[in-house]
């Protein structure tokens, strides 16, 4: 087994919002998450962070790309394969028309050979599509329960008609556990682990504070003993003091249980404290990615610099006299001819740029 627990290859998540309009919420991102680390996705609201998390855990069927969990394919999209088929049909149609209009001998034989070649290529692509559908429809349930999610809004993600015990135990029951004593013990253990009491089990979500509800959400994720947790802005709806408690709780669980965390957030001060590696998202793409120290100490992309400039400094005098906010203008990039791609510009530091920009970034380094 490799040290990579999650591998995302060219993930795309597009949504149709009209007869001819498509929202490219996530548009071709790739990254790996290593066992035991905290990998953070950061960016402004609407950049595609939450959609990425929901796509990884299969709340959405992905549009394109592949997702591997513990070296097994768990999601496959088919947009690129469908586009390949369309392109092949157009290409061979043009070739066949050229032969028909030419004075070449043995036209019928040449056209038949081209059609056979086209059909063989399309057949191979369709086999890939069927294989992707098979992976999506026959996911290993024992494998998938090792990936869990903590949702952003604790009250919206908890069923108000269910007790805390029913909410937390739901994963166990879906997994086939029927012994009431075993369920009660595991629920109580999960509550203790997140700093709540067993007597809380018979209460309803509305009887708890925001921080306590988020702890219930964490307990629900932990009950099936996952190896990988997607934490989708788990502290954004909480007060500052409660945020620190939840982050410290996640840190403790990471140390005690060896859990790997994909942490989705827009609070960069929390990300700097909590993460090992960071990926910066903008408009559905990852624009910069690397070790935490590289991203915070040596940012290269202008959007990353803009985000970091927005981190408040707890010094009113400094903020008043020296605090400077950088405004990101995407028009600074000219990708009309020289197309960008994700490139490793130095060890543990990747950036989305074209060749002209790469030269500028190398000079900055």
pLDDT in tens, 120-172: 999 999 998 988 888 788 888 889 999 999 998 888 889 999 999 999 999 99
Residues 88 and 149 grouped into a single domain? no
The answer to whether residue 209 is domain-embedded is yes
pTM over 0.85: yes
Q: Give the rounded percent of residues in the chain with a pLDDT score beyond 90.
A: 67
CB burial readout 39-48, b (16+ within 10 A) else e:
bbbbbeeebb
Residues 85 and 231 grouped into a single domain? no
Q: Among 177, 147, 112, which residue's Cα sits nearest to residue 8?
A: 147
Mean pLDDT estimate for the chain? 90
pLDDT at 35: 94
Asked whether residue 242 carries a pLDDT value surpassing 90, the answer given is no
Residues 245 and 103 grouped into a single domain? no
State the maximum Cα–Cα separation within the chain, in Å, rounded to a whole number: 88
Residues 217 and 348 grouped into a single domain? yes
Residue 137: Cβ within 10 Å count = 7
Tokens 């905290």 label which residue? 38
Average confidence (pLDDT) over 22-44: 95
Q: Among 265, 286, 248, 258, which residue's Cα sits nearest to residue 40?
A: 265
Helix and strand totals (H; E) in the chain: 13, 12
Asked whether residue 2 carries a pLDDT value surpassing 70, the answer given is no
Lowest mean pLDDT among 5-14, 195-204, 264-273: 264-273
Q: Among 299, 342, 291, which residue's Cα sits nearest to residue 30?
A: 342
The answer to whether residue 68 is domain-embedded is no
The answer to whether residue 101 is domain-embedded is yes
Residues 126 and 267 grouped into a single domain? no
Residues 126 and 193 grouped into a single domain? no
Instruction: Work out how many domains the chain is built from and give that number.
Output: 2
Residues 222 and 86 grouped into a single domain? no
pLDDT digits (tens, 9 = 90+) for 288-326: 999 999 999 999 999 999 999 888 777 777 667 766 788
The answer to whether residue 1 is domain-embedded is no
Residues 213 and 234 grouped into a single domain? yes
pLDDT at 262: 96
Q: Give the rounded percent of residues in the chain with a pLDDT score beyond 70.
A: 98
Asked whether residue 1 carries a pLDDT value surpassing 70, the answer given is no
State how far the Cα of 173 lies from the Cα of 178, in Å rounded to an integer.
6
Q: How many residues are listed for the chain in this entry?
A: 365
The answer to whether residue 43 is domain-embedded is yes
Q: For residue 129, what are the domain limits?
A: 79-137
Q: Which residues contact 76 (CB under 8 A, 6 or more apart)?
A: 62, 65, 66, 67, 131, 132, 133, 135, 136
């Amino acid at each position: 087994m490799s040290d990579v627990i999650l591998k995302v290859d060219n993930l795309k998540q597009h949504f149709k919002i009209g007869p001819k309009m498509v929202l490219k919420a996530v548009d071709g991102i790739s990254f790996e998450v290593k066992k035991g680390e905290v990998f953070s996705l950061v960016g402004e609201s609407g950049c595609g962070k939450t959609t990425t998390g929901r796509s990884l855990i299969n709340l959405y069927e992905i549009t394109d790309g592949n997702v591997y969990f513990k070296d097994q394919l768990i999601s496959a999209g088919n947009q690129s394969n469908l586009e390949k088929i369309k392109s092949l049909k157009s290409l061979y149609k043009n070739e066949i028309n050229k032969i028909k209009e030419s004075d070449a001998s043995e036209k019928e034989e040449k056209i038949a050979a081209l059609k056979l070649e086209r059909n063989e290529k399309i057949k191979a692509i369709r086999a890939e599509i069927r294989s992707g559908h098979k992976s999506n429809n026959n996911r290993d349930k024992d494998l998938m329960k090792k990936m869990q999610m903590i949702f952003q809004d604790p009250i919206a993600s908890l069923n108000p008609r269910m007790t805390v015990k029913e909410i937390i135990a739901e994963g166990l029951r879906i997994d086939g556990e029927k012994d009431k004593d075993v369920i009660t013990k595991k629920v109580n253990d999960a509550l203790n682990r997140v700093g709540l009491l067993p007597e809380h089990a018979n209460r309803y979500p509305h009887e708890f504070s925001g921080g306590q509800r988020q702890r219930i959400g964490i307990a629900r994720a932990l009950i099936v003993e996952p190896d990988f947790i997607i934490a989708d802005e788990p502290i954004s709806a909480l007060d500052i003091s409660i945020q620190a408690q939840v982050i410290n709780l996640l840190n403790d669980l990471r140390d005690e249980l060896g859990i790997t965390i994909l942490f989705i957030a827009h609070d960069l001060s929390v990300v700097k404290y909590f993460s090992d590696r960071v990926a910066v998202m903008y408009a559905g793409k990852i624009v910069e990615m690397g070790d935490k120290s590289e991203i915070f100490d040596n940012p290269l992309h202008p959007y990353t610099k803009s985000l970091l400039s927005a981190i408040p400094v707890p010094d009113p005098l400094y903020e008043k006299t020296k605090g400077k906010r950088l405004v990101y203008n995407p028009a600074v990039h000219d990708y009309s001819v020289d197309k960008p791609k994700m490139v490793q510009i130095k060890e543990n530091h990747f950036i989305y740029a074209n060749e002209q920009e790469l030269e500028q970034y190398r000079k900055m380094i």
